[in-house]
């Protein structure tokens, strides 16, 4: 019997999702044995024309990581969608926009201005920025269009499943691969990770306070962090209450608070707003203490980059999607 065809592709991402596939260690041999990998630009020398030559729907599943930032990304994911039975949004950037999605706090012009003209290491006296078409002596050169707004994968093509995380952990990848191979997948649209908050599985949960009675929010490098105690009890923002579990609490175990890469549990429309409201509802002083306006200001000022803190991985998937100009 022919093995199911599988494709991997990356759009706007750092490459960590590709590395996590390699992190499958000896399990990658099981995957490679069970499937026929027909496209994986980072590791195998297949071309776009090889994918285009396949019949529509003939790839069993395409795992696509990265956000949609350029015309090339859009073209490739539309091609893979047409050729694939299933499409899995692989990792935070495909799922919610991820770190590249933070670009939505700026416009394309502002990004080009900074990157190609203002950065101290750039030498560009003519102020040239990337153009979709450029005429040169030998003809026309083309580049993919750099879009003004970063999109999630499902804002570009229909997505069947989501594997969350920055990057998704190997055990969740193997569970997803096994479920696909056995045809035991949940309902379409599901996030392939537990549907409960990270605090529910956190080894520090017992020390999580009902109310955080603090006058100042600290950043992780400003505190000597206690290895056992909930970060919130130490005055450090942790997005565990608003974030889906399934990562093995890997940041917490490395003594860093959760930044929310798994996204929200189901039913939450805006992960950043959920995180903000959860943290805001926990903050407050003991009943007998009155919080002055100055106390409130100091507390709020302690969140140095609120938009980046609460929307670090999810800005393109949020209700606002980008900075409104």
Binding range to ligand SF4, per CB under 6 A, among 65-73, 178-186, 260-268, 299-307: 260-268
Q: Is 315 in the site for ligand SF4 (CB under 6 A)?
A: no
CB 229, min distance to ligand SF4, A: 8
Please select the residue that binds ligand SF4; options are 21, 212, 252, 317, rule is CB under 6 A.
252
Binding string, residues 157-196; x marks residues near ligand SF4 by CB under 6 A = --------xx------------------------------
258 binds ligand SF4 (CB under 6 A): yes
Q: Which of 159, 251, 273, 317 binds ligand SF4 (CB under 6 A)?
A: 251
Question: Shortest gap between Cβ of 23 and ligand SF4 (angstroms)?
Answer: 14
- Is 241 a residue that touches ligand SF4 (CB under 6 A)? yes
Sign of CA dihedral 254, 257, 262, 267: positive
Instruction: Provide the minimum distance between the beta carbon of 265 and ligand SF4 in the complex, in angstroms, as a whole number.
Output: 11
* Shortest Å distance, C-beta 319 to ligand SF4: 21
Name the residue number minimizing CB distance to ligand SF4: 240
- Tally of residues, the chain: 325
Tell me the closest approach of the beta carbon of residue 259 to ligand SF4, in angstroms.
4
Stretch that binds ligand SF4, among 25-33, 68-76, 244-252, 266-274 (CB under 6 A): 244-252
Q: Which of 5, 259, 274, 322 binds ligand SF4 (CB under 6 A)?
A: 259
Distances, alpha carbon 119 to alpha carbons 115, 149, 156, 287, in Å: 6, 22, 32, 50
- Among 14-22, 73-81, 101-109, 255-263, the segment contacting ligand SF4 (CB under 6 A): 255-263
Residue 146 burial (CB count, 10 A): 16
Binding mask 208-227 for ligand SF4 (x = CB under 6 A): x-------------------
What is the rounded CA–CA span in Å between residue 67 and residue 247? 20
Q: How many residues bind ligand SF4 (CB under 6 A)?
A: 26
Shortest distance in whole angstroms from residue 312 CB to ligand SF4: 9
> Segment near ligand SF4 (CB under 6 A), from 31-39, 80-88, 197-205, 295-303?
197-205
Does residue number 271 form part of the binding site for ligand SF4 (CB under 6 A)?
no
Q: What are phi and psi of 148, to 5 degrees?
A: -70, -30
Residues that bind ligand SF4 (CB under 6 A): 165-166, 198-199, 202, 204-205, 208, 230-232, 238, 240-241, 243, 247, 249-252, 257-262
């Amino acid at each position: 019997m022919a093995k199911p065809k599988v494709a991997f592709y990356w759009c706007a991402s750092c490459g960590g999702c590709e590395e996590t596939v390699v992190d499958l260690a000896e399990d990658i041999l099981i995957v490679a044995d069970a499937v026929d990998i027909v496209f994986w630009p980072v590791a195998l020398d297949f071309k776009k024309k090889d994918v285009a030559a396949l019949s529509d729907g003939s790839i069993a599943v395409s795992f696509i990581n990265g956000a949609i930032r350029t015309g090339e990304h859009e073209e490739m994911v539309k091609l893979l969608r047409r050729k694939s039975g299933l499409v899995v949004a692989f990792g935070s950037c495909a799922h919610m926009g991820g770190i590249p999605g933070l670009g939505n706090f700026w416009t394309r012009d502002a990004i080009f201005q900074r990157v190609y003209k203002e950065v101290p290491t750039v030498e560009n006296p003519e102020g040239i920025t990337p153009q979709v078409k450029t005429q040169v002596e030998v003809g026309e050169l083309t580049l993919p269009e750099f879009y003004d707004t970063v999109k999630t994968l499902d804002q570009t093509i229909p997505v069947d499943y989501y594997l969350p995380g920055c990057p998704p952990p190997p055990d969740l990848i193997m569970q997803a691969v096994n479920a696909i191979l056995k045809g035991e997948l949940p309902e379409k649209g599901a996030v392939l990770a537990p549907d409960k908050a990270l605090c529910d599985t956190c080894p520090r949960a017992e020390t999580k306070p009902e109310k955080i009675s603090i006058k100042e929010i600290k950043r992780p490098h400003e505190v000597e962090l206690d290895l056992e105690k909930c970060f919130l009890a130490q005055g450090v923002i942790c997005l565990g209450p608003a974030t889906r579990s399934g990562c093995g609490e890997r940041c917490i175990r490395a003594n860093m608070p959760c930044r929310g890469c798994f996204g929200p549990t189901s039913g939450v429309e805006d992960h950043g707003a959920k995180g903000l409201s959860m943290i805001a509802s926990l903050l407050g002083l003991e009943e007998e203490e009155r919080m002055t306006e100055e106390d409130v200001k100091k507390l709020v000022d302690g969140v140095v980059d609120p938009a980046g803190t609460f929307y670090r991985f999810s800005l393109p998937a949020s209700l606002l999607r980008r900075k409104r100009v």
